[in-house]
């Protein structure tokens, strides 16, 4: 299996236009275009009946005391956890590609609608749903893709890992307002193969990618 994008190379710099926020010299960050990157796949296993796309950041600080705090840094040694940015299921294998901005073309306060999406696909809730739960302006159900917004004072760039799974079933065995963790658990016995594509991104102007 092979997964590629015209937006970024594997282990290359993730594009600003596909991020939730970008660096700003005065306010630290400003909202970005939040476009989903284009993705294309090939060499699928025989018997593939549907595809799943998951995007996650494995570099999110597990302790938030220093997160975006003036005069402090999120150090390299801070323990890290996963944050999920996208769960797209029931993707037809013969679709061959997803266009840039086809599933997300802006930041939507309160989140985009779902789970029904283009091409007969479904999208799960991403982890911004929990992240913004206590924010009066931004709280809501965040279906679909929402891009990177790492802490601007993190000493490390974050990785954004897109994983494509080939399944032996035409419908992913999840229902309702599911999330990426639900998908990963449900598809485990149905996966025929997988491929990954990773981009790196930072809001820290002191880091060069």
Give per-residue pLDDT as tens, 118-139.
999 999 999 999 999 999 999 9
Q: What residues pair up with 63 in beta bridges, in sequence order?
A: none
pLDDT tens for each residue of 162-196: 999 999 999 999 999 999 999 999 999 999 999 99
Given strand 2-4, what is the order of strands in its sheet? 2-4, 39-42, 97-98
For the chain, residues with pLDDT lower than 50 are none
- Say which residues have a Cβ less than 8 Å from residue 108's Cβ, sequence separation at least 6: none
Residues 6 or more apart whose Cβ sits within 8 Å of residue 94: none
């Amino acid at each position: 299996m092979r997964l590629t994008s015209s937006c970024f190379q594997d282990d290359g710099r993730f594009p600003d236009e596909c991020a939730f926020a970008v660096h700003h010299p005065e306010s630290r960050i400003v909202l970005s275009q939040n476009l989903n990157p284009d993705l294309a796949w090939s060499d699928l296993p025989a018997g593939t009946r549907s595809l799943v796309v998951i995007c996650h950041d494995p570099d999110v600080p597990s302790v938030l005391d220093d997160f975006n705090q003036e005069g402090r840094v999120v150090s390299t040694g801070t323990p890290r956890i996963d944050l999920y940015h996208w769960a797209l299921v029931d993707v037809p294998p013969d679709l061959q590609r997803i266009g840039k901005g086809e599933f997300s073309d802006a930041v939507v306060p309160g989140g985009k609608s779902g789970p029904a999406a283009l091409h007969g696909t479904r999208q799960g809730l991403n982890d911004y749903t929990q992240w913004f739960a206590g924010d009066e302006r931004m709280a809501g159900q965040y279906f679909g893709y929402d891009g990177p917004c790492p802490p601007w004072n993190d000493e490390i760039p974050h990785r954004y890992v897109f994983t494509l799974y080939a399944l032996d079933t035409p419908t992913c065995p999840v229902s309702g307002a599911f999330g990426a963790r639900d998908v990963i658990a449900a598809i485990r016995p149905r996966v025929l193969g997988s491929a990954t594509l990773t981009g790196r991104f930072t809001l820290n102007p002191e880091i060069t990618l």
